[in-house]
With several copies, the nearest count.
Chain A
Amino acid sequence: MASAVRIQREPFDAGAEIRALTEGRTDIGAVVTFSGLCRDEGGALSALELEHYAGMAEEELERVAAEARARWPLQGATIIHRYGRIAPGEDIVLVVTASTHRRAAFEAAEFLMDYLKTRAPFWKKEHRADGARGDWVAAKDDDDAAASRWDSKKPG
């Protein structure tokens, strides 16, 4: 199975990543992509600074991808996560899943996002537009709940 995990400072190209998974293949019926973008929170933020634990971040994303492959019949999965300073409107994270069937591609993409949010060692710090000291983004209970719903759920 085509599978790639990348951690990079540079932007990525979702279209190119979709093509990389599907080109030359005739057995894929469904490709789902998720792009997570930096929001400016109504103009309050000038950027997000993404810190990561180099080494562990790659390994954790590989573990999350392996877990998705074990749960759903995937023909491909790509995870790209950026670090460094990211301006509003720019991409932060990309997940692409390819499968014969749409439900598997949708569920696996949502699983990858839920899991990586609570397991991949990345932290966001806000840069405020007004120059005031920015805070570290707090983890959301929602994200823990979203990740834990997969603990008991079997692929449909």
Chain B
Amino acid sequence: MKIAYFAWVRERIGKESETVEPPAEVATVADLVRWLKTRGEEYAYAFENEGVVRAAIDRRHVKPQTSIANAREIAFFPPMTGG
């Protein structure tokens, strides 16, 4: 599964995207965030306030409790500031 990062989430993690294979018990977006935070300081820093970072699955906004089953691309990013 591809994961993409944007804005300060991207800067903190230090990469734009990566391909990961989380274990089977990682079922939701919130599970994925908790699992990513175990992968290093940079992830722990990016997700230090779990309520702040937003997620999209296959280019649609999703909530933390959304299932990641069948997701091709999951993106994490700060609250949007366009317009």
Contact of A123 with B6 in the complex, beta carbons under 8 Å: yes
Contact of B83 with A53 in the complex, beta carbons under 8 Å: no
The verdict on B78 contacting chain A, using a C-beta distance below 8 Å, is yes
Determine how close the nearest CB of chain B comes to the CB of A105; give it in whole angstroms: 13
**How many angstroms between the C-alpha atoms of A136 and B12 in the bound complex?**
12
Determine how close the nearest CB of chain B comes to the CB of A29; give it in whole angstroms: 10
The verdict on B4 contacting chain A, using a C-beta distance below 8 Å, is yes
The stretch that binds B, out of A12-20, A67-75, A112-120, is A112-120
Determine how close the nearest CB of chain B comes to the CB of A95; give it in whole angstroms: 9
Report which B residues bind A (CB closer than 8 A). Answer: 4, 6-8, 56, 59-61, 75, 77-83
Other-chain contact of A122, B8, B56, B80 (Cβ < 8 Å): B80
Contact of A81 with B59 in the complex, beta carbons under 8 Å: no
Determine how close the nearest CB of chain B comes to the CB of A55; give it in whole angstroms: 6
Q: Which residues of B contact A39 (CB under 8 A)?
A: none
State how many residues of chain A have any CB contact under 8 Å with chain B: 28
Contact of B81 with A116 in the complex, beta carbons under 8 Å: no
Contact of A92 with B83 in the complex, beta carbons under 8 Å: yes
Q: Which residues of A contact B7 (CB under 8 A)?
A: 51, 123, 125, 136
- Please, could you name 27 A-B residue pairs with CB atoms under 8 Å apart, sorted by A? A36-B83, A53-B56, A53-B59, A53-B77, A56-B56, A56-B59, A56-B60, A56-B75, A59-B60, A60-B61, A81-B83, A116-B82, A116-B83, A117-B80, A117-B81, A117-B82, A120-B80, A120-B82, A120-B83, A121-B56, A121-B77, A123-B8, A136-B7, A138-B79, A139-B80, A139-B81, A143-B83
